[in-house]
Every structure is written in C-alpha cells, then in structure tokens.
Chain A
Amino acid sequence: MTTDIITPLATFIAEKILKQPGKAIAADEALISSGLIDSFSLMDLALFIEDTFGVRIEDTELNAETFDNLEQLAALISSRK
C-alpha cells in the first residue's frame, strides 16, 4: 500500500528537487537531516503532496522531526487520507 505513495514521492524528489532523474532514493534514507532536500525545496514537496494525495502538510511541520524519510512521510500521508 505504501509503495503507491512512496514511488511517486521518490520520483518527484529525484526529478524535480534533485534534478537527477533516475536517482534511487531508499525508503529509509534521510531526506531533511542529511540536507538531501534543502529548505528552499520543502515547500515544493508540500505542494506536490497536496496536489497528488489531497493531504495538507503545514509549513510548521516541514522539518526532520515530523518526517525525515520516505517511509515516515508515506505513513504521515496515509494517516491523513
């Protein structure tokens, strides 16, 4: 079930944020604390989630304490669907 969420997220991050299409991102790979996603791109991620899954992530939640990898992010999205 979560792959339905993780796959589009991983594709979006690799293509649009990292601009390295085809780059594989592991489900447990640190995204924010590692600096992989810089703060200027966090909002892009939130907007993508809203458009794709219809789930709001508040700006105050855009930090490593709320989610730091694809697994945690997918769980957050599922819990709000």
Chain B
Amino acid sequence: MTTLPNLLQHNYREVPDKTSIILQHAGQDDKPLTYRDLIRGANRYALTYSREGIQPGEVVILILQHGEDLVYSFWGAILHGAIPAIMPFLTEKLAPEKYRADLASLISITKPTTIVTYPEFEAEVRGALTEGDSVRHVILTNQIEAESEPNFETLQGFKSSPEDIVVLQHSSGTTGLQKGVALSHRAVLNQMDAYGKAIKLDPASDVIVSWLPLYHDMGFIACFLMPVLLRIPLVDMSPFDWVRAPYRLHQAVSQYKGTLTWLPNFAYNFCAHKIRERNIEGVDLSTWRAIINCSEPVHVESHDLFFEKFSAYGLKKSALQTCYAMAENVFAVTQSPLDGTPAVDEIDRETFMTQRLATPPKPDSPTLKMTSSGHPIPNTNIRIVDESFNDLPNRHVGEIAVQSDCMLTEYFNRPDATEAAIKYGWYLTGDYGYIADGELYVSGRKKDLIIVGGKNVYPQDLESLASEVNGVHAGRTVAFGIYDEEEGTEEVVIIAEAESTSPSEQEAIADAIRKHITKSSAIALRHVKVVDDKWIIKTSSGKTARSANKEKFLNFSFR
C-alpha cells in the first residue's frame, strides 16, 4: 500500500504538465495549475514547515480562503508529513470574538503546533492564542520559502507509513470543532479506490466541477483529494462566488466539459429558483454525467425542479444521483448506480410513523416518497440495527451502522468520543434508515443535529448562544430544524423563554437572539419565538426534549 506523498510524486513524474486544478475567482482569469505547479508550490510550504522546525505528525491548521495558498499549504503539509486540517475562514458577518472562541476550542482538543494564515489575519489568529497552549508557530503566506525543485530524498512525508494519520476533518461549531476525524493514508486511498469504482471514474474523460468549501468532507474528499490523487482535472470556484452567482457552476461545466459535481440538496433548489436564463444562454450541460446529491437529506422534488429548469440546456435526467457519506468513512458509504435514476420507494405514511416500517402504500392513504441512496460502495458494509445492536429485517427502520477498510482511526485526542461511536468494529452513524432491494433509504436522525444548506449544526451550540441574550431564562432555550420545501433544506427554529411577558419586550428579545446567533454562528435564523415561562418541555432529568418541543411548535403553528 502506498501513501499520499508517494502518489503525488508519482503523478508529478508521470504527468507533470497535466492540469490538475483550474482555480476560478470571480472577476479574474482562470488559473490552471499543473502537477508541476502543484508540487513546486507545495514544496515551498514543506521547506517552510521544515525551516520552522515543525515535526512530522504535528497538526497544522490552515486558515486560508479558496486559492493557491490553501492548495500549496495543504499539499506542503502532506509532503512534510505534518497533519493538515482546514478551518473555515472568518466570514464578514461572524463576530471576530466568536471566531476566536471557536478557534480556541479547536486548539484545546486538537493541539496543533502551527497555524498558517494571511498577514492581514495574523492579529485575529494571535488573539485566539493563550499562554501555554500548543501553538508554537503562526506562519504567514508572505514568509514562504522560494520555489525550487523538490528533493524527494529529504521530504519527511515520504517516511510516512500507510497507517499514519494523514489529515483531520472537523465539522463546524464548538461541538464539531472539538471532534476532529482522524484519517490514515490507508483509509483515504481505500475510499478513493472503492468510490472511484462506484462512480466509474475515468481520468481520460472526467472533469470535476465544484464550488464546495474544503473544510467539509464532500468538498475536501470528492472535490479535492480524489481528483488531485487520481488525476481527474478539477475546476474549483469559491463558495462565496457561487452563492452570489450560482450560474457560474453551469458556465464552468459548459466551458470545461464538466462531467461530475457534488451538491447538497438545497443547492438544487437554489439553482432552480435563482438562475436566470440570460446568465446561462448557450450553455451546454450535456457532458454532466452525474450531479450527486449528498450531505443533507435527499428530496426527489429538488431533483425534479433542477431537471425541469435545466433540461433545455442538455441536462440528462440520469445525471441526477445520490450518495450517503460521512467523514468517519472518509466520504461515501453508498452511491446510487449511475446508469439510471435513483429508486424512489413510495411507502405508507402511517405505518412508517407508528411502526417504523416501510410498507407498500394502502389505497386512499397518505404516502411518503423515499429516495434511495443506492448500494454500499465495494469496500463498505452496512447494517440496520436496533438499540441492542441486533440486525433488523429489510424495510425495518433502525440505526445505520458502517464497517469498511476506510474508517476513521479515531476522533483526534478524544478516546471518549471514539469509544462511544465505534461498537464491535462498527461505526454507529446516528442516522436512521432501512434497506429495501439492497439499497439504503436514509429516513432520519437519532442524534439531534440540524443540517442547514449542507452544514452540520449542533443545536446545543445554538441553545447556549440564545441563553446568553439578556432577558432570556438561562438554560430555557431549544433549537431544532424543520424542513422547508421551497428552500430544499432545514431551517433553524429557536424557542426561548423570557422573563418578561410583554409582547413588545419579547419581540425585542427575539431580535436580539437573531442578531446574536447570526454574529456568533453565521447561521441565519428563520424562526425565533420568545415565549412565556414553562413553555419549553423538559425531560424528567431536566434535559431539553428537542423533538417534543418541535412537535409542540409545529402544532402551535405560529410560524
């Protein structure tokens, strides 16, 4: 078994002039990077890490925006044998003090020795550091060694073994940043091998087009590591540019004959609702062979909207595909077969709700349409289990458990979390689902997690933020998500009990919560409801019962 540095070197030796990544920035010319550019740029960073005395196996946090520095600093860490982790960049609406707190919480668990950032961001980063923490180096992008031919004899990354941890992936918020998913070379390479087969990846004809951020597994694995290592050209635009002009994705697919894209469910709705004809006049989408819906619950209606809008531009119906993935399995767990459209299973709603069984529709009864996430990829097994870890029969809803040769090594420096998540060698996903005809249908979540626009949000983080607002009863807040059909994603609801019963004061508190949460988490709240004392339902042990409160909120219908 090889390692990431070996594979990168191999690509450099065999196809130095092949384009690996085309970086796009709105308002600038596209910037193609060949494997030679990639390895020489990465070598500059590897030499810098070496100059600073950074040891292989140390964690390097990259706080950089979409662009060349992010690409080079990442691969430089790989060549040096350090463990890179990409942290989201501060957005303009997030309060700097909250960003510093997030960074400090990541540092406290992950214990990086090094942070790489821009000179203009140095003060922000230093503000998060404390006396005695693990960070010894803040490397700025203007302090990088000059370009030179890499010396593969001295680069430390070539001493790595396949079992060594090669990267960390975090999800967002205080809770997510304290759980770094640690992946070995072996896990990453096994995932690529298996997933490449599942999607019939072909370096001769495939082109991946992506706007996804690299701090999330879908962007990081499918649209960064995989294309670079497997020699699939990648057209990569900034998520900031895409959200302001989603048609750039379609233009890039047309211009570069893109074949593969991964999107979270909301993006199908977003593109269908917001792209205007005049921005995509003349584009040809016929090369797009798979647009894979992943990272939030899949809704077949979103595929239909997308297809209706773009079929006139050559989009094939068979391009709309699904996948179930998680960082703990590196990325994909299942994939829909790419030669048709994903199966849709219409089931009886009541039996599903009351007996957790997916049964055929009854005449004149309401139904649910479930979209298949496809079959497990070749190296991955799944089971559906009950609470005692017994296998459940087909069409019974239970927790999805995963086992493969590409699982996480551990949650970095978190033996408690690792032990809680892995049972008898199986990773318990916290997602509910059932199997029918060998395909997986994901139906819900055991864990209280909200997924907004593909981003995982832990409700406990939002609840503690809401509790900080003046006039809110501390600890008397609840956060949950409700699905919005128009947007194709979950919207966040916050309910908070106030000391005051005056409607105008409650309105003011709601405004303050909205502002505080937006500044502190970069999550836009749709519904904030301030209520009187004793509205919120608690369990007998005093914990907030999120699903019971969600039901109460929906029944009150004060939306």
Give A contacts to B, CB under 8 Å: 19, 32-36, 38-44, 46-47, 59-60, 62-64
Q: Which of B94, B241, B245, B522 counts the most chain A CB atoms within 10 A?
A: B245
B415 sits at the interface (CB 8 A)? no
**Contact at B274–A19, with CB atoms within 8 Å?**
no
**Contact at B524–A32, with CB atoms within 8 Å?**
no
**Contact at B93–A33, with CB atoms within 8 Å?**
yes
Inter-chain contacts of A40 with B (CB < 8 A) = 243, 270, 453, 524
Given A43-B243, A43-B245 in contact, is the A32-B276 Cβ separation under 8 Å? no
Given A63-B92, A64-B92 in contact, is the A36-B518 Cβ separation under 8 Å? yes
Q: How far is the CB of B211 from chain A (nearest CB, A)?
A: 12
Inter-chain contacts of B94 with A (CB < 8 A) = 35
8 additional A-B pairs beyond A41-B524, A60-B26, beta carbons within 8 Å, are A32-B92, A35-B519, A36-B518, A38-B93, A39-B243, A43-B245, A59-B244, A60-B241
B374 sits at the interface (CB 8 A)? no
Inter-chain contacts of B53 with A (CB < 8 A) = none
Which of B244, B270, B453 is A62 in contact with, Cβ under 8 Å? B244
Q: How far is the CB of A18 from chain B (nearest CB, A)?
A: 9
The B510-524 residues at the A interface (CB cut-off 8 A) are: 515, 518-519, 522, 524
The B12-60 residues at the A interface (CB cut-off 8 A) are: 26-27
Given A42-B244, A43-B245, A59-B245 in contact, is the A34-B93 Cβ separation under 8 Å? yes
Which of B27, B245, B276, B519 is A34 in contact with, Cβ under 8 Å? B519
Given A32-B93, A47-B276 in contact, is the A39-B515 Cβ separation under 8 Å? no
For the complex, what is the distance from the CA of A47 to the CA of B295, rounded to whole Å?
A: 28
**Contact at B524–A38, with CB atoms within 8 Å?**
yes
Q: How far is the CB of A39 from chain B (nearest CB, A)?
A: 5
**Contact at B244–A39, with CB atoms within 8 Å?**
yes
For the complex, what is the distance from the CA of A57 to the CA of B524, rounded to whole Å?
A: 23
Which of A36, A44, A47, A60 is B27 in contact with, Cβ under 8 Å? A60
Give B contacts to A, CB under 8 Å: 26-27, 91-94, 240-241, 243-246, 270, 274, 276, 453, 515, 518-519, 522, 524, 526
**Contact at B92–A38, with CB atoms within 8 Å?**
no
Shortest Cβ distance from A23 into B: residue: B511
Q: 18 pairs across A/B with beta carbons < 8 Å?
A: A32-B92, A33-B92, A34-B93, A35-B93, A35-B519, A38-B93, A39-B240, A39-B243, A40-B243, A42-B244, A43-B244, A43-B245, A59-B26, A59-B241, A59-B245, A60-B241, A60-B244, A64-B92
Q: Which of B91, B243, B515 counts the most chain A CB atoms within 10 A?
A: B243
Q: How far is the CB of B453 from chain A (nearest CB, A)?
A: 7
Inter-chain contacts of B243 with A (CB < 8 A) = 39-40, 42-43
Closest 6 CB pairs of A and B: A35-B93, A35-B518, A59-B245, A38-B524, A59-B244, A62-B244
Inter-chain contacts of B27 with A (CB < 8 A) = 60
Q: How far is the CB of B215 from chain A (nearest CB, A)?
A: 16
Inter-chain contacts of A44 with B (CB < 8 A) = 274
Q: How far is the CB of A61 from chain B (nearest CB, A)?
A: 9
**Contact at B93–A47, with CB atoms within 8 Å?**
no
Shortest Cβ distance from B515 into A: residue: A34
Q: How far is the CB of B367 from chain A (nearest CB, A)?
A: 30
Q: How far is the CB of B79 from chain A (nearest CB, A)?
A: 34
**Contact at A35–B515, with CB atoms within 8 Å?**
yes
Inter-chain contacts of B526 with A (CB < 8 A) = 19
Q: How far is the CB of A40 from chain B (nearest CB, A)?
A: 6
Q: How far is the CB of A73 from chain B (nearest CB, A)?
A: 15
Shortest Cβ distance from A63 into B: residue: B92
Inter-chain contacts of B453 with A (CB < 8 A) = 40
Given A33-B93, A34-B515, A34-B519 in contact, is the A47-B274 Cβ separation under 8 Å? yes
Shortest Cβ distance from B266 into A: residue: A40
Q: How far is the CB of B174 from chain A (nearest CB, A)?
A: 18
**Contact at B244–A35, with CB atoms within 8 Å?**
no
For the complex, what is the distance from the CA of A63 to the CA of B518, rounded to whole Å?
A: 16
**Contact at A43–B246, with CB atoms within 8 Å?**
yes
Inter-chain contacts of B522 with A (CB < 8 A) = 35
Q: How far is the CB of B515 from chain A (nearest CB, A)?
A: 7
Shortest Cβ distance from A50 into B: residue: B276
Q: How far is the CB of B487 from chain A (nearest CB, A)?
A: 8
Q: How far is the CB of B246 from chain A (nearest CB, A)?
A: 7
**Contact at A38–B518, with CB atoms within 8 Å?**
yes
Q: Which of B27, B244, B274, B518 counts the most chain A CB atoms within 10 A?
A: B244
Shortest Cβ distance from A44 into B: residue: B274
Inter-chain contacts of A39 with B (CB < 8 A) = 91, 240, 243-244
Inter-chain contacts of A43 with B (CB < 8 A) = 243-246, 274
Given A40-B270, A44-B274, A64-B92 in contact, is the A34-B518 Cβ separation under 8 Å? yes
Inter-chain contacts of A59 with B (CB < 8 A) = 26, 241, 244-245
Inter-chain contacts of B519 with A (CB < 8 A) = 34-35
For the complex, what is the distance from the CA of A21 to the CA of B209, rounded to whole Å?
A: 39
Inter-chain contacts of A35 with B (CB < 8 A) = 93-94, 515, 518-519, 522, 524
Inter-chain contacts of A32 with B (CB < 8 A) = 92-93
For the complex, what is the distance from the CA of A63 to the CA of B245, rounded to whole Å?
A: 13
Inter-chain contacts of B518 with A (CB < 8 A) = 34-36, 38
Q: How far is the CB of A33 from chain B (nearest CB, A)?
A: 6
Inter-chain contacts of A19 with B (CB < 8 A) = 526
For the complex, what is the distance from the CA of A22 to the CA of B244, rounded to whole Å?
A: 27
Inter-chain contacts of B270 with A (CB < 8 A) = 40
For the complex, what is the distance from the CA of A60 to the CA of B28, rounded to whole Å?
A: 11
Q: How far is the CB of A23 from chain B (nearest CB, A)?
A: 8
Inter-chain contacts of B246 with A (CB < 8 A) = 43
